[in-house]
Chains A and B, each alone.
Chain A
């Protein structure tokens, strides 16, 4: 177990999340331009996040009739805080983690579960019909994907004989979990898409409800929410890299570089999925999650168990 002094820890998480959120915005611009068939210069893509911030800062944050003001502020704050908490237990290089506690996957899972509350309350807070409906339908989806995450993380803990994410990375020195437990990563990516509601699970801030949970957010309120969402995406990308893709293991390059590359790779896949995979209707996903994905998660557990006998 490693732990950094609080000041260094905060600096590390702020740095990773800032670079990560910025990178997500840049990649999003690039991918959407490619899919739309537009030309976009590198400079333009790099400037896009700054310009988006400038637009948000110059807009008025609107309130609705009798909203829950405290929750409206707390929802993006809690979502961002949970992203930081999730990232805190993921080691970024050997011995470099904010706090690689023995119960790493439990903390990660708790952050993920509490994010459901933050996302629901964000839809609840404005006291407006469309965000409220988006919030409720998200909870149905969330309770269905949540189990998958627990099963695949527990499966990864079996060969490591530990719930620490650092130990899980070490257990992949010979063979990465993505090969040893082939169902783990795809299922975990579905969970990541759910927690950051993108691509097939874009059921929260979705256009079919005129912006859904974010339909009443404007200016900084909307920017904070989008940034928190990108931060959560980074936390999940880092966890995917550590738990399934061997973390810092890799030839030639330094450990931290491998971890950064793998995290960026997973984040790019997730951002890309947002533009090329259509939304699945929430009801259909619930049915599918319980009848197809959950048995697949059991299978993942059996595979992990058999391989560790």
Chain B
């Protein structure tokens, strides 16, 4: 009895969700931040439900399964607006409809696995260590002395040179494609020494779509504003302002249904965002052609307000930098913190553009 009482109490909480979104559904997922019934978590470890939205590329199937398995048990999967072409994933619920429907489905899925954990979804990957544990050496670390072992399946980091003359360990990491702070479909291969990026390779899920006249391009002010607000909701979330992100996402959903009060709210939101000091703290970060992250935030905020208040379709931001090598060059030598802030502030072609085209 006690357990069912606990399950009911837990089911009444905002459902912690980790969302994995294709570029075509990323905006819609950001809009869910405006719904108090769910809470989009920054890591799969904090989530109970995995939301798989939109087109997941076939090449990302392995990554999707890995994220799925990283959720603590009991877990549930809800699939939203899947085109049926991506990697198959067993789901407790499949939804095609509105944001409201998917939020209800997520809540029901959470309640259902709480009430009956046997309904929860099992791991998708086999329960095998990544590399065989070898057990050689004085501590069983697998190698000779300090080098060459693979303790518990993975080797230890090796040293690399650095500009300050200290040869300390480098971490080679692949971040993404489903890392919460990164723009959708972006995978970063980085070499870190300390917190600073020494080497970066960028991989984008979709080929750049630079065709501005693509069908469904944000030709109306409302569509442009909504897209801007999706960006703002995610960007505020990354900068640690989740409650304001909720406000931006809620405004996006108001715009979607044509709420006339939205223009006043946009003004207020822009003022609130400025008051947090986020523009000040991003000054000097990720400068491209003389415009830093702070300038880009300011432009985007102004574009949202202009679209809603004056009905102006904003001129698209310069998609800069245009190619992957230039983007990677922008990130080399900065801290991971600033690299994430830079990526979030940029208009990345091929990452955000197809969102409306699909």
Report A's interface with B, CB cutoff 8 A: 31-33, 35-38, 40, 47-48, 50-52, 54-55, 57-62, 65-66, 129, 133, 136-137, 199-200, 202-203, 206-211, 214-219, 222, 275-284
Contacts and interface: CB of A to CB of B under 8 A. Distances in A.
Contact of A217 (B45, B241, B276): B45
A275 B243 contact: yes
B8 to A, nearest CB: 8
Given A37-B247, A58-B114, A280-B281, A216 B45 contact: yes
A32 B243 contact: yes
B45 A281 contact: no
B244 A129 contact: no
B173 A129 contact: yes
Contact of A211 (B10, B46, B171): B46
A133 B193 CA distance: 10
Nearest to A127: B152
B45 A51 contact: no
B7 interface: yes
A207 B238 contact: yes
A129 B171 contact: yes
A55 B173 contact: no
Contact of A215 (B36, B45, B240): B45
Interface of B: 6-7, 9-10, 12-13, 16, 34, 36, 41-43, 45-46, 48, 70, 72-74, 114, 130, 151-154, 171, 173, 179-181, 192, 194-195, 237-247, 250, 265, 272, 275-278, 281, 285, 335-338, 340-341
B72 A52 contact: no
A140 to B, nearest CB: 9
A141 to B, nearest CB: 11
A31 B130 CA distance: 44
A137 B179 contact: no
Given A51-B10, A218-B46, A281 B70 contact: no
Contact of A281 (B114, B153, B335): B335
B42 A211 contact: yes
Given A37-B265, A62-B70, A203-B337, 18 more contacts: A38-B250, A51-B10, A54-B13, A55-B13, A129-B173, A200-B281, A202-B240, A207-B42, A207-B238, A209-B336, A209-B340, A211-B41, A211-B43, A215-B43, A216-B45, A277-B277, A279-B239, A281-B337
Contacts of B42: 207, 210-211, 215
Contact of A62 (B12, B45, B272): B45
20 contacts: A37-B265, A51-B10, A54-B13, A58-B7, A60-B74, A61-B72, A65-B130, A65-B153, A129-B192, A199-B240, A208-B181, A211-B46, A211-B180, A216-B45, A275-B242, A276-B272, A278-B277, A279-B240, A280-B281, A281-B285
